[in-house]
Amino acid sequence: MINRASRRRSVVKAITYRGIIVVLDFNGDLPAEARWPRRAGFMVISNIYMTVAYFLHERVWSGIKWGLEPQGGN
């Protein structure tokens, strides 16, 4: 049987992920305050750690069974 994520589960996942990114961005943006090259460097680095954060977030959620609805199938 295949499980499908409920809408509520998807909303909770999106909210928890954005919360993680807000914290990471707030902490990571402090050294880059004003200069454009630093801001560009931060943009590159933040995309790397956001990708890692997303991967880890998905791995955690793959172990959480809450909000999964059985879906008919073979």
Q: What is the pLDDT along the chain (74 residues), one digit of tens a residue?
A: 568 888 898 899 999 998 888 777 766 666 656 666 777 777 788 888 888 889 999 999 989 989 888 876 55
Q: What is the pLDDT of residue 34?
A: 62
Tell me whether residue 66 is exposed, middle or buried, using C-beta atoms within 10 angstroms of its C-beta: 0 to 12, 13 to 18, 19 or more: exposed
Asked if residue 69 is part of any domain, the answer here is no
Structural domains counted in the chain: 1
Q: What is the pLDDT of residue 2?
A: 67
Note down the domain range covering 21.
Answer: 2-64
Which of 47, 56, 54 lies closest to 25 in space, CA to CA? 47
Asked if residue 72 is part of any domain, the answer here is no
Q: Determine if the pTM surpasses 0.85.
A: no
